[in-house]
Structures are given as structure tokens and as C-alpha cells.
Amino acid sequence: MRYTSHMIDEAEILDNLQRVLALNDRGDFTVPAPELYPHQWLWDSCFTAIGLRHINIDRAQVEILRMLGAQWSNGMVPNMIISDEHHNTRDAKFWRSWTNPAAPFEISTSGITQPPVLAEATVRIGELLSKPERRLWYKKVYPRLLKYHEWLHTERDPHQEGLTLQIHPWETGLDNTPPWMKELHEHQMPLWIQAVEKLKLAGIIKLFRRDTKRIPAEQRLDTIEALSLYSVQRRLRRKMYDINRILSHSHFAIEDLSFNCILIRNDQLLREIAKTIKEEIPDKLDVQMHKTIESLESLWDPYSNQYYSRNFVTHSLIKEPSIASLMPLYAGTISKERAKIIVKQLENEHAYGPNYPVPSVSVESPWFKELGYWQGSTWINTNWLIIDGLRRCGYEDHADALRESTIELVGNGDSYEYFSSLDGTPGGAENFSWTAALTIDLIKYNK
């Protein structure tokens, strides 16, 4: 039986959720889930810190500082720090971050980034500190945050057109989300993977996968998708994560809608941080930030009344709807009219409003699978971002309703990686950190 909101014993749930965070605590960072995810991930740590701030605010700060400690000398914050226990083992060699001179010497990291929610986590922690403590905290992180945002707006916007580009779907955090999968099939499917597909060898390759040993295969990426993501990663590694080499002769770079919406909001939060400590945002960055807000509107498709991601090279919109379509609410800069159109999608049970919203793709999409990994299942981090966006766009009632259904979903203390949007069945890894952390935050704070 699933719990309904009035039956939830909040104290008991909070206890269970805190236990998950304690289980995944490795001292100075939190793993997303035991075994399956043994390293530190960028946006996972930000979401974890947002929950941890209610339990142990010093520890929440440590989580963010460790992540920023892995910043490359060019400003990039990598999406993963390879854990010491795994140092020089398979995962470190898989990335070989040391091939790029900007990577730190003493630790191994990935060579790509993830959605920039660091300013969000910083401000959320700041909210619960006294004014003098907040200023100290902001002073500590601001120089690195600034450098990261400058890197995003410069290296990742080489033509200074306003939108940042991403070079791997892992950078969006929504690994196999349909718009990226569609582009991958069109532009970056190596012949050997096509052969594997034709010769039906995927079944044999599946035997070597780590994730499907623990989690039912139908809840993960299919093997062809997984192989394609690895093949894109190998190309980035061959190019030693050098953006000029990566972009030459490649059509596989996307100005991702969700990533850019998250950047817009976090730019705004960076401004807040700067203001609190009486720092000036450099002129160049100031102009770039404005331009990103304006350029978001070029992702609007007037025919289908939706925002989409865009191919960086051809500039064509990738008209494949996904949860990214709702993220302009989190950006918070769109017109009232467009916000209203997006909210309608959330109200529609055949689109993004089934029993346990918000599905990672619309229920009516041909990609929709009830427990599909980023292809139908409901995730707590995207819900949290949408709740926050709804509030700032003036949709308090919608935000409250989504907050309640999200708490209800996790309500029995099952801190799973994702859930069926139709009936709430849990899926993916157990004891998943951001599910626990963000539910703590929704219960304690986000009212």
C-alpha cells in the first residue's frame, strides 16, 4: 500500500532519509548510492548539500568545498571526482583526466561538467547561516564559482551567441534523454555499434555491464544506448578534453535546454552572492549572462509552443520533447504567457501530469516507458527544480501540489533513484542520496 500524505509520519520519514545520507557519507563527500555510484558527482553533491544543511550545515559546506577543490585550472568543475579507493583503477583510467594540462594533479576526475547548480546549493546553505557566517561562506566559494561561470560562458559559447553547448549527454545529467538519443543516432553512431545492433550482439555485451547486474535491465539504458554514450566519451578522451579539437569535425554538440535554464538561474544566484559580499560581477560576464537570458527565447518553437534544445552546429531545434521543456520555469526569466503554456502541460495527465509527476518524458511520447531511465520515470531532483521554478513564476498552488505528491512518492522512506510516474513503483538504485536529501528539504523547508 502506498501512503497518502495525511498518513505520513514525518518524523519517521525524516529518520529514514537521514539514515540514507549517513549510509552514503564518506567523510568529506557523499556517494549517490552505495556500490553502483562509488564516486563524488557534481549535481548529486549540490542536491545532497541542500538536504544536509538541515542536519549538519558544516558538513553540507564540506560537500561543496570538496567538489570545488577539483576545479580545473581553466575553471571547469568536473562532473565526477574519482574516489581514492578507485584511484588508478578502472574508472580513473577510463577518464584519464591527466591527459589535459588543466586537470588537477593530485586527484582523478572526469573531463566534462554537469548542470551548474553550485550557486543554488551555496545560497541554500547561506540561507540557514547568520549574516556574518553567510558572508564568510560566500567569500570562501565566490572566486571559484565566478571562475566556473566565466568558463561556462566563454569556453562553452565559442561564438558568443548566448547559449552554452554541451559535449556529452552526461553533462546534462539526463543521460539518455530522447533529444540527445535522437541526435546520437543521426550524427554519432559508429559503424561498429551499428554492426552490434544488426548482428544482435547486444545480449552478449550486456553480460559485461555493471549496472544491469544490480538493477533490472528494462529500467536502465539499453545496451546500444550505453555503448553509444561510451563511444562518445572515448572520442572526448582521445581529444584530451580540448574543446577546439572536440568541436572540429563533429556535429555532436548541443545547446541543451535544461542545462542552459539551470545556468540562467544560477547566474542570478551568483549575482546575489556577489552582492552580499560587495563584489562586482566582471563586465564581460555581466553581458554574457544577459545574452543567455535573451538567447533562451531562440529555443522557443512557435509551431508546437514549446522550448527545445538546439544542435550547436546546424542551429536546428531538436524537436523531441522531454522534461527539459519544463525547465524554463526554473530559469524564471520567461514571459507569463509562456510559463502558462508550460504549466498547462503539467496539468495534463496525458503529458507531464500523471498520478506521480513529473515524468522525465511526456506520457504520450513514443519514448515513454514507465520505469525507463530518464525516459519516463519521475526523479526527485527535477521535481525539486520545477517546484522552485513554479513558486518563482507565481504558481504557488501548483508548487504545493507537486511538493505534496513528491513527498508522498518517497513517503514510506524508500529513497529510490526514480519512480513510476503512473503508480509510484520505485526503480533504480536503493538508498539514493539526492532523493533522501531533497525530500528532507521539501519536508523541512520548501513550503
Give the integer Cα–Cα distance in Å for 193 and 271.
Answer: 45
Residue nearer to ligand GLC on the CB measure, 44 or 183: 44
Q: Please report how close the Cβ of residue 425 comes to ligand GLC at its closest, in angstroms.
A: 19
Q: How many C-beta atoms lie closer than 10 Å to residue 131's C-beta?
A: 9
Q: Please report how close the Cβ of residue 44 comes to ligand GLC at its closest, in angstroms.
A: 5
189: left (phi over 0), alpha (psi -120 to 50) or beta: beta
Cβ partners under 8 Å of residue 401, min gap 6: none
Q: Which residues bind ligand GLC (CB under 6 A)?
A: 32, 37, 41, 43-44, 173, 175
Give the integer Cα–Cα distance in Å for 130 and 128.
Answer: 7
Residue nearer to ligand GLC on the CB measure, 166 or 295: 166
The single-letter code of the amino acid at 322 is S
Taking a C-beta distance cutoff of 8 angstroms, is the pair 33, 429 a contact? yes
Give the integer Cα–Cα distance in Å for 334 and 351.
Answer: 21
Q: Please report how close the Cβ of residue 345 comes to ligand GLC at its closest, in angstroms.
A: 22
Name the catalytic one among 256, 417, 430, 441.
Answer: 417
Residue nearer to ligand GLC on the CB measure, 289 or 429: 429
Residue nearer to ligand GLC on the CB measure, 124 or 220: 220
What's the Cα-to-Cα distance from 402 to each of 60, 194, 343, 407, rounded to whole Å?
A: 25, 41, 12, 9
3-state secondary structure (DSSP) of residue 362: coil
Rg (CA), the chain: 21
Residues found in the chain: 447
Q: Please report how close the Cβ of residue 360 comes to ligand GLC at its closest, in angstroms.
A: 10
Taking a C-beta distance cutoff of 8 angstroms, is the pair 39, 81 a contact? yes
Helix or strand run (H / E) with residue 246: helix 243-247
Q: Please report how close the Cβ of residue 134 comes to ligand GLC at its closest, in angstroms.
A: 28
Beta bridge partners of 318: 309
Residue nearer to ligand GLC on the CB measure, 44 or 120: 44
DSSP code string of 119-166: HHHHHHHHHTS-HHHHHHHHHHHHHHHHHHHHHHHHTT-TT--S---B
175 is catalytic: yes
Name the catalytic one among 44, 157, 175, 183.
Answer: 175
Q: Please report how close the Cβ of residue 170 comes to ligand GLC at its closest, in angstroms.
A: 6
Residue nearer to ligand GLC on the CB measure, 115 or 353: 115
417 is catalytic: yes
Catalytic residues: 175, 417
